[in-house]
């Protein structure tokens, strides 16, 4: 099949103008999509769900039985199944919000089943008034919402491997999820405790069986951190920190302490295990980067991506996600020829700071081998690096903060594999 003559490609490999459908009078004549099967001839009234009453009302809705494969992938420790991670299936989702049951997890020692009536938050250390708050008290505070991603510092770490991993996009890059977090601006509580002038850091601790703790600069706490109580409108799920989670927008997942019960103000960081032994990046020189809080700009194409199959030539919509811990995404470019030429994708409104941003661009696949890539630029001018550039700067043993451009190769049979290109 040939390319519709009305449509001009704007970059190699068949990328089309992102505004193509807005242009009046252009019709997309893709023969392959018409009269596909006999489906069109079925009388819908004869389908079983139009002939018998459906299921009763339910107290809490569940996804369709036809969507059972849209799940988190979990990986637990062989000796302790509460120690491990799970990934958001980004390749099965659209839009920007992650459903609560699919938000990624990283637990150091399982998910605590906390009784909110017994949960308290202590603020102490370099404060004039050490304070303790019950959940009942916290729920009376003024709240606000932040739509933001949370990404584990170890997300996408398979990218450091010498051989490209052949795994669905979400099960490599899905230690990143995006929610509306609603809660109390941390600044309000810190002001009530009257922080002393010498305080520079805040050590946050969770009430789980690992009493996980990390140090956070006070500046960040006073800027945009919130003590989240709700996630996407409902109380936070146990695996995401019920009943209270520290949300530090745009910063490493580990700083977004779940099951938060203590904030210790100090003039120095604690140098805890999770800010020294882990969540630091070893460089080729033998020195390691520490306190690398901000998650740099990243993007990836989720559709089409590894494991999906293109069965026909012609029109496809390329769709993906971009985000940056430094602020808004201002541009996502897509290439269909392995990076030789690039075209600017459409960003879905609203584009929010430190939030998943959905990009889309129409594409005409001519049936030949193609390599798809996406490249994000954020409002600070930071451009997502190619893998070679990232490795040249950081080596291969940093483990954390892998944010290089992702490449998917489409074979002439429409199979999609992950490549380094």
- Give the footprint of ligand HEC on this chain (CB under 6 A): 77, 79-80, 83, 108, 273, 277-278
Nearer to ligand HEC, 70 or 272 (CB): 272
Does residue number 272 form part of the binding site for other proteins (CB under 8 A)?
yes
Residue whose token pair is 């490449």: 407
Residues of this chain, 18-47, that bind other proteins according to CB under 8 A:
none
**How far is residue 347 CA from its own chain's centroid?**
16
Q: Which of 221, 240, 222, 219 lies closest to 230, judged by CA?
A: 240
Residue 417 phi, psi dihedral angles, 5° rounding: -125, 160
Residue 282 contacts residue 399 (beta carbons within 8 Å): yes
Residues of this chain, 113-142, that bind other proteins according to CB under 8 A:
122-124, 129-133, 137-138, 140-142
- Which of ligand HEC, other proteins, none sits in contact with 140, Cβ below 5 to 8 A by type? other proteins
Q: Which of 115, 147, 150 lies closest to 134, judged by CA?
A: 115
Nearer to other proteins, 148 or 216 (CB): 216
What minimum distance in Å lies between the beta carbon of 103 and other proteins? 23
Does residue number 389 form part of the binding site for other proteins (CB under 8 A)?
yes
Does residue number 341 form part of the binding site for other proteins (CB under 8 A)?
no
What minimum distance in Å lies between the beta carbon of 115 and ligand HEC? 24
Nearer to other proteins, 33 or 80 (CB): 80
Does residue number 285 form part of the binding site for other proteins (CB under 8 A)?
yes
What number of residues does the chain have? 421
Of 227-235, 259-267, 358-366, 368-376, which part binds other proteins (CB under 8 A)? 259-267
Residue 88 phi, psi dihedral angles, 5° rounding: -75, 130
Residue 194 has a CB neighbour count (10 Å cut-off) of 13
Does residue number 333 form part of the binding site for other proteins (CB under 8 A)?
no
H or E segment to which residue 331 belongs: strand 329-335
d(CA 343, CA 330): 14
Nearer to ligand HEC, 108 or 358 (CB): 108
- Which of ligand HEC, other proteins, none sits in contact with 193, Cβ below 5 to 8 A by type? other proteins
Nearer to other proteins, 125 or 314 (CB): 125
Residues of this chain, 65-94, that bind other proteins according to CB under 8 A:
77-80, 83
CA distance readout (Å), 322 to 264, 352, 388: 34, 11, 20
Residues of this chain, 202-221, that bind other proteins according to CB under 8 A:
203, 205, 209-213, 217
What b/e sequence results for 148-179 when a residue is b if at least 16 CB atoms lie within 10 Å of its CB, and e otherwise? bbbbbbbbbbbbbeeebeebbbbbbbbbbbbb
CA distance readout (Å), 275 to 224, 239, 268, 279, 293: 21, 22, 13, 6, 10
Q: Which of 20, 282, 310, 371 binds other proteins (CB under 8 A)?
A: 282
d(CA 216, CA 221): 7
Nearer to other proteins, 315 or 402 (CB): 402
By the criterion CB under 8 A, which residues form the site for other proteins? 77-80, 83, 108-109, 122-124, 129-133, 137-138, 140-142, 188-189, 191-193, 203, 205, 209-213, 217, 261-262, 264, 266, 268, 270-273, 276-277, 280, 282, 284-293, 296, 380, 382, 385, 389-390, 393-394, 396-397, 403
């Amino acid at each position: 099949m040939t390319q519709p003559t009305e449509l001009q490609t704007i970059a190699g490999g068949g990328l089309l103008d992102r505004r193509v459908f807005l242009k009046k009078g252009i019709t997309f004549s893709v023969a392959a999509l018409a009269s596909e099967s006999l489906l069109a001839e079925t009388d819908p009234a004869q389908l079983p769900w139009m002939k018998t009453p459906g299921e009763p009302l339910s107290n809490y809705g569940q996804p369709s039985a036809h969507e059972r494969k849209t799940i988190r992938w979990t990986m637990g420790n062989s000796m302790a199944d509460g120690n491990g991670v799970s990934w958001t299936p980004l390749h099965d989702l659209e839009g920007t919000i992650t459903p609560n049951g699919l938000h990624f997890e990283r637990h150091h020692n399982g998910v605590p089943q906390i009784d909110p009536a017994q949960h308290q938050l202590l603020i102490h250390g370099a404060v004039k008034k050490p304070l303790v708050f019950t959940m009942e008290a916290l729920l009376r505070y003024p709240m606000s919402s932040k739509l933001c991603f949370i990404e584990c510092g170890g997300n996408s770490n398979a990218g450091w491997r010498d051989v490209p991993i052949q795994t669905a996009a979400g099960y490599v890059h899905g230690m990143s999820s995006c929610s509306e977090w609603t809660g109390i601006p941390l600044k309000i509580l810190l002001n009530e405790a009257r922080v002393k002038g010498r305080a520079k850091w805040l050590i946050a601790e969770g009430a789980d069986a690992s009493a996980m703790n990390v140090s956070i600069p006070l500046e960040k706490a006073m800027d945009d951190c919130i003590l989240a109580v709700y996630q996407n409108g409902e109380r936070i799920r146990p695996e995401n920190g019920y009943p209270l989670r520290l949300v530090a927008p745009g910063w490493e997942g580990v700083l977004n302490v779940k099951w938060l019960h203590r904030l210790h103000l100090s003039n120095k960081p604690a140098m805890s295990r999770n800010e020294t032994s882990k969540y630091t990046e070893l460089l080729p020189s033998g020195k390691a980067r520490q306190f690398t809080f901000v998650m740099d700009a990243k993007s990836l194409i989720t559709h089409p991506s590894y494991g999906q199959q293109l069965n026909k030539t012609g029109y496809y919509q390329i769709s993906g996600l971009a985000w940056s811990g430094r602020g808004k995404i201002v541009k996502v470019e897509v290439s269909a020829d392995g990076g030789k030429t690039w075209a600017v994708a459409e960003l879905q409104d609203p584009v929010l700071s430190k939030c998943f941003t959905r990009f889309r661009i129409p594409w005409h696949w001519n049936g030949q081998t193609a390599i798809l890539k996406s490249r994000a630029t954020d409002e600070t001018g930071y451009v997502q690096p190619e893998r070679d550039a990232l490795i040249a700067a950081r080596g291969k043993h940093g483990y954390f903060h892998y944010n290089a451009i992702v490449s998917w190769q489409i074979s002439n049979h429409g199979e999609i594999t992950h490549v380094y290109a």
